[in-house]
Amino acid sequence: MEVSNKTLDEQATEIAEQPKVPVGYMTMELSTKGKFGAPKVFHIRNFKTEDLVGLAIEDEDKMQEAAADMLQDLIFEKDVDVKKFHRKEVVETFLRLYRRYYQNVLKNLPWELTEEDKDIIAKEEGGKDTDAYRRRIAAIKRGEEKQFFDIDLKQVDYYEIPENVTGTVRVTQKDPETGKDFVVEYSYPRYGDAILLKKFIMNIPEIKEGERRFASITENVKFRQKMENAWKEGENVPLERIPRFTQQDMEAFNEFQKKKARFATRAVKALHLKSIDGVDISDLPLDKKLAYADDPRLDHATFEQVNKLYEDMKIGPVEDVNVIDPYTKKVTKIHYTFRLFTILQTIRDNKPDGTVIEFV
């Protein structure tokens, strides 16, 4: 046990000077135990009406930044930086917040049809070779028939983080010419990465000009894709009425998209670089890191392996959950990715359990 050399009066003074957590804040202890961006213990309050106004956003990209700003405001400790959290630490924080202040159940989540469900529907419609079965399946794909399921948050587990995990990946390669080791370290994917990356890329003059130039084509391509998917699902969509662009315009648009994608890949690599050949670059701004990302020794195949290692990392809520299949009415295990967008929409649209509002 560590023994303090401070006197009792000194310790009492330190305790008295520590900011007191106001009533109404819950203690938050995530499963990551302070090993990533979130501290081991912090305090967070419930939403106010003005906080939830920021959730009235249907664009997932915009909601991501709004959620970061909102969560930052909910946390009592001012030295906590939400954008440094691991992405799944943010998800876990909102899940625990939802369970504490709202409900134990995530309700009315859209169900995806399984093969077992199709067997049930086939029995109801007289077999898979009947028109009735085909019409029913088509209606489900078009969203005309919808089924939903709930997740009991009391049954959701969280991954245990091993004591030796740091969130840093070190890659060591032997230089074939010098025989020396080339060592690179990468950091884990932070919640603020996507926000920073988008702002950075959109401020590159060439990309900003390309976005402006090809804005109408971009919207048209998105709309055409949506309409073609609807047409494939059996909807009566007049594809011939969708505006078309010249081959020259489309070739220029596709070339711009390729350049943008290549730059984004380079920026992502730079964003995750922590150190290279013993030089700590973790605190450098992204534009300075780009020069390091161009080192020819940082090959694509290795970076892809690093990405996969982070994607496969067991952190946050366990994504295999038991739910009731709305077609079979049986308990079944599904793989469910807890998406922040869905959680925030659920918080916005539901009222807390145990709260009674009435005239007196």
Mind listing the pLDDT tens digit for each residue in 42-68? 999 988 877 777 666 666 777 888 889
**Could you give the CA distance from residue 133 to residue 143 in angstroms, rounded to a whole number?**
15
Can you give the pTM of this predicted structure? 0.81
Average confidence (pLDDT) over 296-324: 91
CA distances for 255 relative to 210, 261, 262, angstroms: 10, 10, 11
Contact 200, 271 (CB under 8 A): no
Non-local (6+) Cβ contacts of 80 within 8 A are 38, 39, 42, 72
Question: Percent of the chain at pLDDT above 90?
Answer: 50
What tokens were used for 259? Answer: 């350049």
Q: Is the pLDDT confidence value at 1 over 50?
A: no
Average confidence (pLDDT) over 11-17: 50
* Beta bridge mates, 279: 276
**DSSP code at position 28:** E
Every domain of the chain and the residues it spans = 17-111+148-161+316-360, 114-146, 173-311
Task: Tell which wins on pLDDT, 61 or 341.
Answer: 341
Quick one: pLDDT at residue 228? Answer: 72
Q: Band of the pLDDT at 170, cuts 50, 70, 90?
A: very high
Average pLDDT of the residues of the chain: 85
Give the 3-state secondary structure of residue 253. helix
User: Which of 59-73, 150-164, 190-204 is predicted least confidently?
Assistant: 59-73
pLDDT for 94-136, tens place per residue? 999 999 988 899 988 999 999 999 999 999 999 999 999 999 9
Quick one: pLDDT at residue 350? Answer: 65
Q: Is the pLDDT confidence value at 163 over 50?
A: yes
Non-local (6+) Cβ contacts of 62 within 8 A are none
**DSSP code at position 82:** G
